[in-house]
Chain A
């Protein structure tokens, strides 16, 4: 005889006030997984807007004369491109997106320390972004670059600049709220028995990043408040005609904006540290050194800002100090890269999209890091400051670096987010198109800068035409590469094979639950994982399914 049991409903379905299924993603949800995906999807939407703006830039630069858009429009386009990519795409996605999704799993918690603050921080982003973009249509956007140096930012049309300031203040506030949440969750919200040095490396990366966020973002806020007073109230903080000092603005601005690049890249370093061990089936090499290098990068990152000002008005002793300090950041950063290669060495490497994007990241970031060490040297920088060499450098770091990690992370955690496997063929196509397009676009720009092309220009010396056209073709390829990516991430929700709990046979807590996870993260107790990188087969063990004859008499390692 069978007994009919009452149907089991998920906890959320009990409350008819909570939106369910896809509606959750448009609501003020407190669930860290929902918020994380909201950050990621919202970030990608802004990425496409920023990418379209880049398309305008590269189209203009395909010819040496200013013939595509007006010069004022071009300056608005480049300002919005930089501002959107930094504040609405990279910072939110690697911090708020992956951070919010993963950190509670890693500390063994059901959610972040402050779920409501979390939701508030996310919901500040879409209005700030829409405000910024709308400024283009209402009287014109800011046109002084994402750096907004006065006096230019005081003398260009005020409305666009003020909207830019308000938008950046909102986005900075969102970032600070997120940082507070991560620090509290990682330091104070770990489950009993879980020590700091047992946490996955991404937690350390996010802890370090959040400390930088909390210490440096408020300085930008204060600076922009002073700038807005100059524009609106006609004070003279940064207005030389009223006794002000424009170089002080530069110091204050870069005090935040240099750590900002670590805020963009450290979480990416953390994500790579999660991805490589799983797909190479080997422990992360050098856990403690990786932690120390994050701490060293944090400390050094706060004292190198004036390397953005080498040709400005700073005394020689100051330039010397900043050269040395900046060059030293290469040491802890280099350690991380050597450790990642050592993680791969002698592993059993699956050549899937996540791994391949991570390897492309390694090589491209090293390239950008080399040009970075060069730029850190004052005499070298004197020639290439404010030229396309710098543009090439930071795109290798930020795109060839962080964006490639974002793609790797999407492919890696897609099964967990959606419950389906993404398509590997589309993933590899995406990789090939992006690698070729990206390097074709930004490689030649090094040469352009060395040979005389400044940045932020719509017109240039005709001798640079061919390289600019090559670069623009690369940009077109990058645009095209989004097509297989979008088909994959959207289509695989329907066509992708079911992923199961742990398709990668990983050890970290997010893989020890269903895909996608339940609202409370795990059914039952949270797993206490002391060794998130505890991979490794003893010497001499053979997998009979793939063993060959020679394995029997030769050491497999």
Chain B
């Protein structure tokens, strides 16, 4: 014996060669799209974490100048928070209807969720227009608008995606209890957006 020979065993993987695509047979490989989305949401969460860290540090070490206006009212934002949290439940309801193949009910709950998201955005717009401070008035103001604005962009994107899957679900057989990546993905994203808001609300309005 002179050198080590590589030890090769046959794997259970597919032996067929697909001639349409450059790679593997699609029956074989696992669907990792939800895993990929979850990883992406970890990354997105870290962006918010950076903003939260900046905000908390500013609060701890940077006093606002005397006379700075930074108070926030609580009633409307609390109602908004309730709407957003409830919308996560309505989305969850939509998923349950999907798993029972009740597509009409599912679509109804999806639409409800989207409308609640839009209501949240409307509430935010109303709040923005009625706040006593603008973007550049002071450090708290800037941070407030940056944080809620970045979150608001996420909500907008989320509401749009809910409407898209709502429209897609109209096509019979497009989503089934076995195959519904679009809805599952948007649901995960929507819950993520909701959780971020709860943290945001706590830090900006309650702390």
Contacts and interface: CB of A to CB of B under 8 A. Distances in A.
A–B contact via C-beta, under 8 angstroms: yes
B11 to A, nearest CB: 5
A228 to B, nearest CB: 11
Interface in A175-222: 176, 179-181, 183-184, 187-189, 191-193, 214-219, 221-222
Contacts of B13: 108, 191-192, 525-526
Interface in B28-46: 29-30, 32-33, 35-36, 39-40, 42-46
Given A115-B23, A534-B7, A233 B136 contact: yes
A536 B2 CA distance: 10
Interface string B1-17: 11110111111110101
Interface string A14-39: 11001000000000011100000000
B49 A219 contact: yes
B57 A251 contact: yes
Contacts of B32: 113-114, 184, 188-189
B142 interface: yes
Interface size class, chain B: 35 or more
Contact of B62 (A183, A235, A243, A255): A243
A557 interface: no
Contacts of A12: 22
A114 B33 CA distance: 8
Contact of A234 (B10, B11, B136): B136
Contacts of B39: 179-180, 183-184, 214
Contacts of B17: 11, 520
B135 A512 contact: no
A110 B24 contact: yes
A417 to B, nearest CB: 17
A117 interface: yes
Nearest to B65: A243
A149 interface: no
Nearest to B150: A225
A281 to B, nearest CB: 8
A341 B163 CA distance: 59
A381 interface: no
A180 B37 CA distance: 9
Contact of A14 (B19, B48, B146): B19
A536 B4 contact: yes
Contact of A235 (B3, B11, B135): B135
B143 interface: yes
Contacts of A188: 30, 32, 35
A222 B154 CA distance: 14
Nearest to B57: A248
Interface in B44-93: 44-51, 53-54, 57-58, 61-62, 64-65
A505 B3 contact: yes
Contact of B10 (A117, A218, A525, A530): A525
A236 B136 contact: yes
A274 interface: no
A237 B54 contact: yes
B139 interface: yes
B112 interface: no
Interface residues of A, number: 75
B23 A529 contact: no
B8 A527 contact: yes
Contacts of A30: 22-23
Q: Specify which of A14, A108, A236, A281 lies most central, judged by the most chain B CB atoms within 10 Å of its CB.
A: A236
B22 A109 contact: no
Contacts of B7: 529-531, 534
Contacts of B19: 11, 14
Nearest to A183: B39
A345 interface: no
B18 interface: yes
Contacts of A117: 36
A519 interface: yes
A347 to B, nearest CB: 13
A528 interface: yes
A60 interface: no
A494 to B, nearest CB: 26
A86 interface: no
Interface string B121-137: 00000000000000110
Interface in A255-294: 255, 281
A541 interface: yes
Contacts of B30: 188-189
A104 to B, nearest CB: 9
Contacts of B44: 218
Given A189-B30, A214-B39, A226-B146, A219 B15 contact: no
B138 interface: yes
Interface of B: 1-4, 6-13, 15, 17-20, 22-24, 29-30, 32-33, 35-36, 39-40, 42-51, 53-54, 57-58, 61-62, 64-65, 135-136, 138-139, 142-143, 146, 150
**Top 8 A-B residue pairs of the complex, sorted by shortest distance between their CB atoms:** A219-B50, A222-B50, A235-B142, A218-B47, A218-B46, A110-B24, A110-B23, A111-B23
17 contacts: A113-B29, A114-B36, A180-B43, A184-B39, A193-B9, A193-B11, A219-B47, A236-B139, A242-B136, A245-B61, A248-B58, A519-B23, A520-B22, A520-B24, A525-B13, A526-B13, A527-B6
Given A30-B23, A237-B54, A528-B9, 11 more contacts: A114-B33, A193-B12, A219-B47, A222-B54, A223-B50, A243-B62, A252-B54, A505-B3, A512-B6, A526-B11, A529-B7
